[in-house]
Structure formats: structure tokens, C-alpha cells
Structure 1
Amino acid sequence: MSITLPGPTLGVVGGGQLGRMLAEAASPLGVDLVVLDPTPDCPAATVAADQIVADFDDADAIDELASRVDALTFEIELADPDVLAAAGEEHGVSVHPDTETLETIQDKLVQKEALADAGIPVPEFVAVATAEGLERVVEEFGGVMLKAREGGYDGRGNVPVETPDAAAAALDEVGGAAMAEEFLDFEREIAVMGLKGADGETRTYPVTETVHREEILRESVAPARADDAVVAEAESVARDVLDVLDGRGVFGIELFETREGEVLVNEIAPRPHNSGHWTIEGARTSQFENHVRAVLGWPLGPTDLVAPAVTANVLGDVDEIEPATLSGVESVLGAPDADLHWYEKDDTYPLRKMGHLTVTDGDADPDAVSADERDALLDRARELRDGLTFDA
């Protein structure tokens, strides 16, 4: 392949914070982004070359997007795979990851079935459609996590059901077709950012520990505070997952480490993922740059850890929707070990992702970082994050 600069133009369905960081990573490569998003002046708009304001499944708008770019990708699973495939074929541009992969992942039941059929370890799961059926499953499993089959995001669409008498209300809350998954007594949640490039090349980023509360990712720790056997198993499982998925790009692979040391796949995102934001400062090539490279068929960048890193999400700490004004920023900007990322969203509301900060330890040996060093980084990231507020 012969690559010249300025580079091609990449079309992205979705212009949220992931689209914004894709544009930031693409620019030094000489690649322009055109994003499609229904929110005028979306987070990616100020760094992308242009924005098309339209719904994620607007066939005419996606056709226009395809007519203006050299390749297509997406940063949100709400993109319509059939519309994307048709637009790509009409204008002779590639779509990555593969639209069939997107279709599989959009339905959590179909996703889990595909993984199970491939022999990849997953929690026990079953489709549910009625309250009576869910009641039986809850009795059998001793409680379940009920998940909407489609549309769930950042914990939305997930409802814990601990007793049979809670089944009907939970099914109403998820709004229709659902999947029930066994409750796991897990040691920790972990993630692997997997990468597929041209000619079937695969790479993985170091295993990351993810810390959730109220179903929302709060912090990620790289490398994960897991023993060597669990890390090796997580990497192996992640590569098996990549073998199941078609198309180029980054895949966020969320996993559970059980108390017994098993590694089970939770969910997959066919795009850069919050679990991998630490790669901007902590890896040789960020997940966003590598997604751009992969989608375009360019050589992949190294995924090595260059410094232990902890990312903390900056979430809305207000009680209702209000204009976003973040206070306490000087404490992060004055910290030599921290980097702040602001997503430029106009409004904040409870638990909305508004930005993140990453703390790195440049003095630690990336290949021999101790648990104490990672604990100290996590404490430091939390301290800086907790000094920020929208509740002025």
C-alpha cells in the first residue's frame, strides 16, 4: 500500500465524545473527519472538518456522507447496518467494522449466542419475553441481570431482578424483548481493547481493570490489578472474540473475572470504548489513532503500555439538566501527572459523561508496575476528579 498525505477523508456515524477523540487522533495523520449526528454542534463538530445534522439511521443523510468520504465507520451502535452497507456499496467506499458484525452486536441475545456458539466463555443467559418466563428464570438462577436486547447504553436498559415478584416491573422498564443473565460473584470487571487491521492482523492493548458504580464506568486502571494467569486468560479470550468478528477497527471487549479466576465475556462494543481512554496518554498509539489506521487499512500502531495510567470519568453531579460549567479545573491543570479531556457538551445532567482525566506514572516500570503504584494512581485520579464539580 502506498500512503500519501494529505490523507483521505473518513466518515463517522456519531459525533459524540468518541467521534471528537477520533477527529483529534486523525488530524495529525492528515485525515479529515466528517461526522453525522442529530445534535447540532455535537462534541465532534469543533474538531471535525464538517458535520451532517441528521439521525443515525437517516438513509439520505448517510448516502450524502458516503458520497463525501473515502471510508465509513461508526462510533455508536445506533447506526443502521443495512443503510450503511447500502451507502458504502453505492459509493464504492468500505465500511468498517463490518456491518454484519454491527448487526450481531446490536442485539445482546444474538451477540451472546454468537459467542457461545464459538465456544467463548460467557455467563449463563436466556431470552425472556414475558413476566411469567422471567419469574421462572429468576427462581432458577437466584436472581438475574435483565438486559434490553437492543438500545441499552451506559447502564441504561439493564435492570437487576432479585426476586420473582419484581419481574413484571423490570420487564416493563427495559421495554420489550430482553435477555436475562445470571448474577455473577465476580472479583473485578476487566476489559481488553482489541484491534483488527488489514490482512487479518490482530493486536490487543494491555488488560484494563474497570470500576463501575450504578452501572456507569467511573475509573479504569491500566494495567489491571489481576494476577498473571487471569491477564493471560483475558488476552486469550479477547483474541478468540476477535476471530469471531468481521471487519477492521477497535473492539471494546468487556469481561468479568470471577472469584474462581475464570474470565467470561460480558459485552462487546465494535468501536473505541470508554475502557480504553487511558491509551491516549498511556499507550504508544491510542485506541482512536489505531481505529483510524485500521478502518483505512493503514499499518497498525504499537499497543504497548508506555506508562501505568488511571482514567477517571467526569460525570454530571447535578440534580437536573442545566448548562454545563465545570469548576475546579485549575487543580487538574496544575497537576504535572494529569491530563484533562473536555467533551464540550452544552448541558449536563445526572451521571452524564462530560469529560475525563488521566493520571500517569512516568517513573514506574510499565513491565513491572506494583499493585501499590496502581493503587496510588487510582487514589490520585479520584482525588483530582472529585475536586471538579458542575454544582456551583
Structure 2
Amino acid sequence: MTTLQTPGPTLGVVGGGQLGRMLAEAAAPLGVEVIVLDPTPDCPAALVARDQLVGDFDDEAGIRELAERADVLTFEIELADQDLLERVSEETGTPVHPRPETLRTIHDKLVQKRELREAGVPVPPFRAVDDADDVRDAIDEFGAPVMLKARTGGYDGRGNVPVESAADAEDALESVAGPAMVESFVDFEREISAIAVKGDDEVATFPVGENVHEEEILRETVVPARSSDEVLEKAEAVAADVLEVMDGRGVYGIELFETSDGEILLNEIAPRPHNSGHWTIEGAQSSQFEQHARAVLGWPLGSTTLRSPTVSTNLLGDVDEPREAALANVDRILETDGAHLHWYGKREARPLRKLGHVTVTGDGVGTDDREELLATARELRDDVTFE
């Protein structure tokens, strides 16, 4: 058994947004220092990380310096250049987790779905499309509506376009603007997610959460998901199968559909901590961010046990146009037992931009009723204003 000691190693993170910020917050108590690379000076992670290198995600000199200053590299954004990470890792000897090969698979949604289907992971029917005729053929095959997806670059619903009829095919394809794929439209009962962790020789899964989306953007996560034990066990089994396909240690956000007949289909995978796992900071024995730091460093994983039923809700930019980010009327959040405010330190508020989140735990408010927790979280969120 390897003897670990603190102060410990340095973790280099490509990306310094809110995920990098919360990762640095979780790493600090372990004695792990974090250095981030991000193109935005004074990015959200800069306040809590040891240092920030200012550079693009494909900046070779920046990635190389990050590797030379770190013991392990990881990333909090899929825009990290997988080929560059792989080359720098080989030349400097600094490992990258999850592996660049996993990032390469995730980067292209079509490649991702093909590899998972080949491995036996249940996915919705899909096909590549090159032009509007292909989209119309997909509608003939799958039935309308279908979901048109950009193969690369989409997140938070960006790059996902419902196509209601063959007449809409051309306009939908133009809006995606790049290589695309089509998936059949899933008649789902709810959207759920499993935050799973792949360690050196162990795996762990947090309790499955239920996600509430609006305009393709995650608004709330309810844990445990309001579904049957049988369905949740299926979801955890699918998550375990996904980890078998993924190469490299770390946290994986695995988004799933629960169909109307109780089956589980994979939606998408994020090879990093995920918005739907933010509840773990207060709601689980160890957070997804602590787990990611432990995993990528090859350390033993922590407990993923639920402390109590928990709800998290995002604070999104409620503005008509970009302006300085300032949050007002947070008093009720701070005064409510079991409520926890997280502000991401972004300097600019933009429409529907994720600026923070609020978590409400059952043990704090004295109830295990998830409906009541959700109502409380919504009330606290709706009281907040942007000034």
C-alpha cells in the first residue's frame, strides 16, 4: 500500500470556471494544491487555486507549463485539446486523467454513441447526417419529432435542435452549423443522472438524481430521484457499464433517460464533475469534487453515501443583456437552516448563464419530503435578484 502524505501533490486543471473553483475548494483540505489554465484573467477558480496560467485550452506553451508544474493533469471542460494533452503528457511524463482517449471519444457525440452501443450500453436509435435529405430520412426512420445534435461543441442544450417535421430539416441543420447527428425522440418519464467515480482499482456511484430542465438548461436536481428502486438500480448498472468503456480515473457525469416503461437509455456523458452533482457538496459524505481529486491522483475514494434527501437549484442570469454580475436578496437563503449558497465569482451576468446554485438538505430543514425541499429551494431561488 502506498503511503500518502500531506501537503500533497499539485493538480493541474485545464479550465478555471466554476467546476475548477469547486475542485480547488475540495482539494485544499486534502493538502492538494491546484493550478488552473484558463483564457479569462481572474477566472472563477483563480480566487481559490494556488495559481492561474492565462491561456487558451489549446495553448501548447500554457499546457506544457501546467504539466511541468503539476503531478497530474485533469480538465473541467471538454474543450481541452485531447491531442495536445496526449502529446504533452508523453513528453513531460505528467499523466492525464481521465485519459485523452476518453476525451477524444466524448468530444464527438456520434463517436461516443457508437462506442457505447458497441459495448452494449442502451442508447436511443441514432444516425449521422450530412445534409437535409439525411435529416428527412431520419424522420422517416424514427418518426417525428427527432433531436438534431451538433456532434461537437454543444453543452447546456446548445447545439440540440428538435425537428418537428421534414419541412424544418434545412433550417434546423443550418442552426447547428457543423457535423451533426440525429437521435430518435425519447418518450421519457424523467431525466436522471448518475455521478460515477473511477478510481485506481475501485468504482463508486453517488445516489441517482432527478434533473429538471427548462429550455434545455438544468434548473434543479432532486436526490434521490423520485423513481422506483428497480429503476434506480438499472440506472446504476448502466453507469457501471459506462465506466467500463471510459479510460482513466476521475468523476463522470452520466445523463440518462428513464423511459415511460421504466427502461434506462443513455443521453450523454461528461468526463468531469457535473452540474447535476453539485448537491453532493452538502448532501453526501464526500463531494464529487473531492472524489475527482482523489481519483485522478490515484488515492482511495471516499464515501458516496447520502447524508439526507437533497435538492439543488441553479442561479441563472436573469438579465436581458450582459452586465456586471451582482446578486441581491440572498438574506433568506442565509437565514434558512439547511440552505447553502454557492456563488461562482463570474464577473459578467448573461442571460441564463450559470452564476451560482443553492442547495437545500433535508437534515437542515427537518424533513425528508423531497417535494417540500424542492418547493423551499424554488422559493429561495426566486427571491434572488440580479442588480
RMSD: 1.2
For residue 154 of structure 2, what is the amino acid of its counterpart?
G
For residue 229 of structure 1, what is the amino acid of its counterpart?
E
2:26 aligned with 1:45, yes or no?
no
Alpha-carbon distance in 1 for matches of 2:359, 2:303: 20
Which residue in the other structure is 1:389 paired with? 385
Displacement after TM superposition at 1:92 (Å): 1.3
State the secondary structure of the residue aligned to 2:11.
Answer: strand
Displacement after TM superposition at 1:140 (Å): 2.7
Which residue in the other structure is 1:306 paired with? 307
Which residue in the other structure is 2:105 paired with? 104
Which residue in the other structure is 2:376 paired with? 380
Displacement after TM superposition at 1:364 (Å): 9.0
Alpha-carbon distance in 2 for matches of 1:86, 1:350: 38
Residues 342-381 of structure 1 mapped to structure 2, 5 A cutoff: 342-362=343-363, 373-381=369-377
> For each residue in 1:133-166, what CA deviation from the matched residue of structure 2 results, as whole angstroms up to 9, or x when unmatched?
1112123322211110000011111111111111
Which residue in the other structure is 1:277 paired with? 278
Residues 138-287 of structure 1 mapped to structure 2, 5 A cutoff: 138-141=139-142, 142-199=144-201, 201-287=202-288
Which residue in the other structure is 1:134 paired with? 135
Alpha-carbon distance in 2 for matches of 1:385, 1:364: 16
Report percent identity of matched pairs.
63
> For each residue in 1:199-258, what CA deviation from the matched residue of structure 2 results, as whole angstroms up to 9, or x when unmatched?
2x1110001101000000000011100111101100111101111111000000000000
State the secondary structure of the residue aligned to 2:212.
Answer: strand
2:327 aligned with 1:326, yes or no?
yes
Flag structure 1 segments of 5+ consecutive residues without an equivalent: none
Alpha-carbon distance in 2 for matches of 1:15, 1:64: 16
For residue 310 of structure 2, what is the amino acid of its counterpart?
A
Q: Contact (CA 8 Å) 1:139, 1:163: kept in 2 or not?
A: no
Instruction: State the TM-score, normalized to the length of structure 1.
Output: 0.97
Which residue in the other structure is 1:5 paired with? 6
Q: Contact (CA 8 Å) 2:132, 2:169: kept in 1 or not?
A: yes
Alpha-carbon distance in 1 for matches of 2:287, 2:75: 17
Flag structure 2 segments of 5+ consecutive residues without an equivalent: none
Alpha-carbon distance in 1 for matches of 2:282, 2:106: 29
> For each residue in 1:243-301, what CA deviation from the matched residue of structure 2 results, as whole angstroms up to 9, or x when unmatched?
11110000000000000001000000000000100000000010000000000001100
Alpha-carbon distance in 2 for matches of 1:343, 1:379: 23
Q: Contact (CA 8 Å) 2:337, 2:365: kept in 1 or not?
A: no
Alpha-carbon distance in 1 for matches of 2:14, 2:172: 31
Which residue in the other structure is 1:56 paired with? 57
Alpha-carbon distance in 2 for matches of 1:155, 1:93: 33
Which residue in the other structure is 1:125 paired with? 126
Q: Contact (CA 8 Å) 1:145, 1:183: kept in 2 or not?
A: yes
Q: Contact (CA 8 Å) 2:194, 2:235: kept in 1 or not?
A: yes
Runs of at least 4 residues of structure 1 off by over 3 A?
A: none
Residues 52-91 of structure 1 mapped to structure 2, 5 A cutoff: 52-91=53-92
For residue 171 of structure 2, what is the amino acid of its counterpart?
A
Q: Contact (CA 8 Å) 1:256, 1:263: kept in 2 or not?
A: yes
State the secondary structure of the residue aligned to 2:46.
Answer: coil
Alpha-carbon distance in 2 for matches of 1:185, 1:379: 26
Alpha-carbon distance in 1 for matches of 2:262, 2:63: 45
State the secondary structure of the residue aligned to 1:362.
Answer: helix
Q: Contact (CA 8 Å) 2:338, 2:364: kept in 1 or not?
A: no
Displacement after TM superposition at 1:43 (Å): 0.4
Alpha-carbon distance in 2 for matches of 1:44, 1:245: 27
Aligned residues: 385
